[in-house]
Amino acid sequence: MKITKILFVSEFEELWLDALQSLMGLRKAGLNHVVFLHVIHRDKVAMRRGTGYLKQEERKLREIADIRFIDWAETLFEEGMEVGAHIAVGNTVPKVLSVAEDEGVDLIVTARRKRSKLEELYSGSETSELLRRTVRPVLIYNYISQSGKVGENPFERLLLGLDWSESSEKVLDFVLALKGTVKRVDLMHVLSEKAIGKLSKLEVQKVEREHKRRLDEVCDVLTKERIDARPHLYIGNTEEQIEKGASEHRVTMIVVGMKSKGIWKERWSGSVSYALAERSDLPILVIPAGV
Amino acid sequence: MAKKVLNVEDDIDTRTFVSAVIERNGYTPILAKDGEEGMKKIAEEKPDLIILDILMPKQSGIKMYHELKLDPSLKDIPVIMLSAVSKRTFLRSQEALTEFGDETVPEPQAYLEKPVEPEDLAEILKKVLG
């Protein structure tokens, strides 16, 4: 698993060149190609009574995007990077998926995307839809958070949420591929209160010891690759504890795997990766199980 | 037989415009919408000249130009760059690629910044192709 090519999706409202430049630490992990994508929402140029399809408006919006992309591309070209650009009209998620497929990117970088309350009730947010439909890692990059800008290199200190599933293995593989970029990893497993509630003290200690052993094993794998790694075992609601751990250990990014669930199960029962992607102030890297 | 000019350009309006200028001046236009397709067309059509944009999907004109000039069988095909990316950036990018271990490549036959007047393009076509 290597990251040589990323898709940088920008609506020019949230992610700008400075956000992209903060990802250039990935060059140490092999990044050499950035593909820009700007999607002009269909409703901005859709048919209106009396005026028809707003062709002139589309042309103007394309021109604006083109000018911005050329400026960004010039900066990257001069650094020896390969750059591509796509400007499309339509719905964001299908366009992101098709460009990611066409270009064969290794990582999709996008801001968190919302819809109207009503649309979200029926189809979820654009972020959830993208996570549900993609087979590629997605970085939900909240570059400007409430607490100010994210540091120079968001890949510097990672918190890995591990649940020992197949997707956790993928998370670990992905982080190992980032060798050279990542300085420290905080590994975290969260035990649910419900799972240990009916156990005796001795049984709880056994469970605790087993998870600590597994965390230590992963730490050893990372340490061998010269990545400073620390294990943490938390108890409680997974999503809340991950956010708490991220804050306590001052990480720059949360990395979680994503299990494939059915669309309705995912929407109504929720999942840690979706919830974090929707809520967290920190950048969230989500690795699908099938990657 | 008319000389063949390959135009590698992702923007359909510019492609149509450049193609019309090529045709009006007695040459045969061949079109490609990105660097990847451009390289395929070069192998198939063996053009006499290439007009190359820079910012395109899949493969940029910067990488394509570099590859062309490092390929002994293709390096003599003249290239006119036609882009909104500045010539300064183009030259710096070629230097940056050299820093990554590639050989130095010569400058293109001409560098035109968009938008280009049809007369200017026609004049350069004649100068390069005769």
User: Contact A102/B100, CB-based, under 8 Å?
Assistant: no
Specify which residues A232 forms β-bridges with.
A188
Of A146 and A136, more confident? A136
Measure CB to CB from residue B93 to each of A66, A80, A84 and give the nearest one. Answer: A80
Average pLDDT over residues A23-33: 93
* Residue A210 structure tokens: 């087993």
- ipTM value for the complex: 0.91
Instruction: Find tokens 């970029």 and name the residue.
Output: A181
Whether the pLDDT of residue A15 is over 80: the answer is: no
Q: What is the tens place of the pLDDT at every residue in A173-231?
A: 999 999 889 999 999 999 988 878 888 889 989 999 999 999 999 999 999 999 999 99
Most B-contacting residue of A71, A78, A86 (CB-CB within 10 A), to test interface: A78
Which residues from B are below 8 Å from A35, CB to CB?
Answer: 57
How many angstroms separate the CA of residue B109 from the nearest CA in chain A?
A: 20
Query: In what side-by-side order are the strands of the sheet with A284-288?
Result: A82-90, A33-41, A5-9, A107-110, A138-140, A284-288, A253-258, A157-161, A184-191, A228-235
Residue count of chain B: 130
Q: What is the tens place of the pLDDT at every residue in B1-55?
A: 899 999 999 999 999 999 999 999 999 999 999 999 999 999 999 999 999 999 9
How many angstroms separate the CA of residue A77 from the nearest CA in chain B?
A: 5
* Residue A178 structure tokens: 């980032």
Question: Which of B43, B44, B92 lies closest to B66, judged by CA?
Answer: B92
How many angstroms separate the CA of residue A58 from the nearest CA in chain B?
A: 14
User: Contact B85/A80, CB-based, under 8 Å?
Assistant: no
Q: Could you give the residue ranges of the DSSP H alpha helices within chain A?
A: 17-21, 42-45, 55-78, 92-103, 117-123, 126-133, 166-177, 193-197, 201-224, 238-248, 263-269, 272-279
Q: What is the tens place of the pLDDT at every residue in A34-50?
A: 999 999 988 878 766 66
Specify which residues A288 forms β-bridges with.
A258
Q: What is the tens place of the pLDDT at every residue in A230-280?
A: 999 999 999 999 999 999 999 999 999 987 655 444 444 447 888 888 888
Whether the pLDDT of residue B80 is over 90: the answer is: yes
Classified as helix, coil or strand, B75 is coil
Residue A152: predicted pLDDT:
72
> How far is it, in rounded angstroms, from Cα A209 to Cα A272?
24
Which residues from A are below 8 Å from B93, CB to CB?
Answer: 77-78, 80
Whether the pLDDT of residue A82 is over 80: the answer is: yes
Which residues from B are below 8 Å from A65, CB to CB?
Answer: none
> Residue type at A141?
Y
How many angstroms separate the CA of residue B26 from the nearest CA in chain A?
A: 31
Which residues from A are below 8 Å from B91, CB to CB?
Answer: none
Most B-contacting residue of A74, A75, A95, A105 (CB-CB within 10 A), to test interface: A74
Which residues from A are below 8 Å from B87, CB to CB?
Answer: none
User: Contact A85/B85, CB-based, under 8 Å?
Assistant: no
The chain-wide mean pLDDT, for chain A, equals 86
Please report how many Cα atoms fall inside a 13 Å half-sphere around the Cα of residue B26, on the Cβ side: 7
A12 touches A19 (CB < 8 A): no
User: Contact A70/B85, CB-based, under 8 Å?
Assistant: yes
Task: Please state the pTM of the whole predicted model.
Answer: 0.90
Tell whether A180 is within 8 A of chain B (Cβ). no
